[in-house]
Structure 1
């Protein structure tokens, strides 16, 4: 069974420069880090010219389909019938993107098939993680 889900999505950068209003992005989920999702933007779509990856909770992404959520660097909310807004806040500025809600739902359905919500803790190897922490502390 696969440990990782990757799904390309089309993101629309709000108030973007004319050169790239639609940007490719990829949603990632790895059952070895069962509470988190990542969204990666390729180098041509970023101000820095390097791939940019944001990590945030799967719960935030799921809740953002129906309500305004997030207080930190990543926020999500529904926008109309078929869009979800994701905001990424950094010292350099804020990126606001729209993603099709159907694409996000498909991604979340795949993550739930891999690791059902509420059972994430079963994927964690706390003994191994504690041993790693202790080894690093020594």
Structure 2
């Protein structure tokens, strides 16, 4: 049986369940993620859409789409950020902080060319995204 993890928005009104193993985990340094998360970097966990289910409070879930590549979802009651659907990639980013019982094991930094917080952790640093997800796949120095 596959392992499941449950997370919530800030107030707990929206609950999301992820099942299985994420497709990837890491850090995004793009200006949009930094602005949305109100932090210098965003920790992501990427899942296939079928592995993500809103189990409570779907009527409280709002969506903000700044561009077609990112449909950011949040709780309309508390404003807590929950996840971002990336239709072009076929993946959903359930923010690492939203699912605290999942052991966060980052494997990559994306959009590192935009970083404001240099992280010397030995992980690969990509200029933008991996080539298979529509980026250049170019590495940048740590």
The TM-score with structure 1 as length reference comes to 0.29
Higher helix share: 1
